[in-house]
Structure 1
Amino acid sequence: MKKIIIVVAVFIGVTACKVNPFTGQKTLNFYPNSQIFPSAFAQYDQFLSENKVVKGTADAQMITKVGQRISAAAERWLSANGYPGYLKDYKWEYHLVDDKTVNAWCMPGGKIVFYTGILPICQGETGVAVVMGHEVAHALADHGAQRMSAGTLQQLGAVAGNVAISDPNKRNLFNQAYGIGSQVGVMLPFSRGHETEADRIGLQIMAIAGYNPYEAAELWKRMKAQSGGDSPPEFMSTHPSNDTRINNLTAWAPLAEEEAAKFGVTKFN
């Protein structure tokens, strides 16, 4: 099994060829936008057709307003840091859906949905900007394509193990060990890393858009209170714990404020 993990690790190193503009680091991503975006756009349109989209209300208008400000701030940062045209294939859309679920998401290419259930926790425009910045950051950093790439490698590792091991009993043991090991040891940390990265990028972008980055930790305190502390251990979760996020956002807020000042933003909404 160690040999298989080494082979997969080497393959990851070879295929990690796209650079994240916000971190300067190479990422695991071998699915181009031209392949990902059309499918994401079609799925988004289908989702909207099957759900109750809220239109014309103050809340719906707020979602669009905040989304436009966040995406414009992202474009300003990217252009100023040597990535003009990075967003040329993005087709931004922002919709509010009538659903009590406490959630929001952004598909590759900039297709965003907020559920009405998250608005009471947001408590207004700045709270929406915290969530919007985080979701937009997932799209900016190509996290969707990276997850697909990691999933493909996970499957390749399983196939390689099953081909290499001829004994049925040993193969069953491998599958059990590989399934748990790759999930807990690789996939879940990979996902948590994306969430942490999106928190940091989103905080920076919301500040450039004119929203107070110090409010991000306050939103996650409300998220923690809403959950009642009922969550799995962090190492078993796709997301960092609420306390980890609160601590991170508190520490990063001054840095986001400094970044915003570079763009002439010294006062926040």
Structure 2
Amino acid sequence: MSTWIKTLAAVSVAALLGGCATSPTGRNQVLLYSSDQLAQMGDQAFSSMKEELKVSNQRVENAYVECVADAITPYVPKEVYDGQWEVVVFDDEQVNAFALPGGKIGVYTGLLNVAKNQDQLAAVIGHEVGHVIAQHGNERMSQGTLINMGSQAVGQVLAANEVPQTGPIMAAIGLGMQVGVQLPFSRAHESEADVIGLQLMAKSGFDPRQSVDLWQNMEAASDGERPMEMLSTHPAPQTRISNLQANMEPALADYQATSNRPKCK
């Protein structure tokens, strides 16, 4: 690839990643969509999931998950969502959970086999709510929109100048953006959500030290079947554990400062 094409691609990416907002941890963000748009998308997605997936009818486990979520959501900033969060347990073996803009939380029953207690479940729910607080969904959609626009512009320049092997060049640029931009941003989002979730669970009265135990459980449950970290949207468990431990001191201070001690069983 010629130097001028590399320069054009680099300039395009740099321009696309210029910040117009700031995340809770101080990162620059590009956010093209309004909160109302994101809430509407979240509501539509959640409604579809409730139609497509089996919703758990186990009263005890539903009450348990709702208890943990209800302890955390009051600490979500009102400008993010000021209302009653809807919490649904899906009867599915996935070891996962999610939160959506507009006050939606979903937990898969498979997670309850790995998150061994209320504190570990709070670490997951806090993490997922952290994505909503930091507007990661908005940021990812905005980033995708801009990268598509930038790729189209580069393609048009290549075609207009009759550059040979335009197809392979565009494929190389696309891979470079995925590995060099999109995947690192996804890992940054995960790490940021871990920190926000740690703060949320601690303020809610859950022991933040259990977040480390959770990720040890997650690593054991994965049986080592993970892609190399550079090509993964999620940091490796040991990376997450190190990040959590590095932010543990202020979280412990919040935990010790609150009189909240939820009893979710």
Query: Structure 1 residue 198 and structure 2 residue 203: aligned?
Result: no
Match of 1:216 among 211, 222, 226: 211
Q: Which of these residues, 92, 95, 99, is aligned with residue 99 of structure 1?
A: 92
In structure 2, C-alpha distance between the alignment counterparts of 1:177 and 1:206, rounded to whole Å: 42
Distance 1:223-1:88 versus aligned 2 partners, 3 A rule = closer
What is the rounded CA distance, in whole Å, between the counterparts of 1:90 and 1:240 in structure 2? Answer: 32
Q: Which deviations, in whole Å up to 9, do the C-alpha atoms of 1:154-193 show, x marking residues without a partner?
A: 1112101110002364311221211110000000000000
Aligned residues: 256
CA 1:204–1:30: 2 relative to 1, 3 Å: same
1:5 alignment partner AA: A
Select which of 4, 12, 17 maps to 1:12: 17
Q: Secondary structure at the match of 1:53?
A: coil
Aligned-partner Cα distance in 1 for 2:164–2:33? 36
Residue 236 of structure 1: how far off its partner (Å): 0.3
Q: Supply the distance in 1 between the matched residues of 2:206 and 2:81 (Cα, whole angstroms).
A: 25
Deviates more, 1:183-192 or 1:160-169: 160-169
Equivalent in 165, 170, 182 of residue 170 of structure 1:
165
Q: Residue 80 of structure 1 aligns with which residue?
A: none
User: In terms of mean alpha carbon deviation, does 202-211 or 91-100 score higher?
Assistant: 91-100
The answer to whether the 8 Å contact 1:207/1:256 transfers is: yes
Q: Report deviation, 1:90.
A: 5.9
State the 4+ residue runs in structure 1 displaced beyond 3 angstroms. 88-91, 263-269
C-alpha RMSD of the superposition: 2.0
Q: Which residue of 2 aligns with 1:87?
A: 80
Q: CA deviation at 1:265?
A: 4.5
Q: What secondary structure is seen at the aligned counterpart in 2 of 1:114?
A: strand
> In the aligned structure 2, how far is the partner of 1:175 from the partner of 1:252?
40
Look up the equivalent residue of 1:63 and give its one-letter code. V
Per the normalisation by structure 1, the TM-score is 0.88
- The corresponding residue for 1:48 is 50
> CA contact under 8 A between 1:93 and 1:111: conserved in structure 2?
yes
Amino acid at match of 2:9: I
* Superposition deviation, residue 17 in structure 1: 1.9
Distance 1:266 1:73, change over 3 A: same
Uncovered stretches (5+) of structure 2, i.e. residues with no partner = none
| Higher RCO structure, 1 or 2 (CA under 8 Å, sep 6+) | 2
Q: 2: distance between equivalents of 1:117 and 1:34? A: 32
C-alpha spacing 1:11/1:237, structure 2 compared with 1 (3 Å): closer
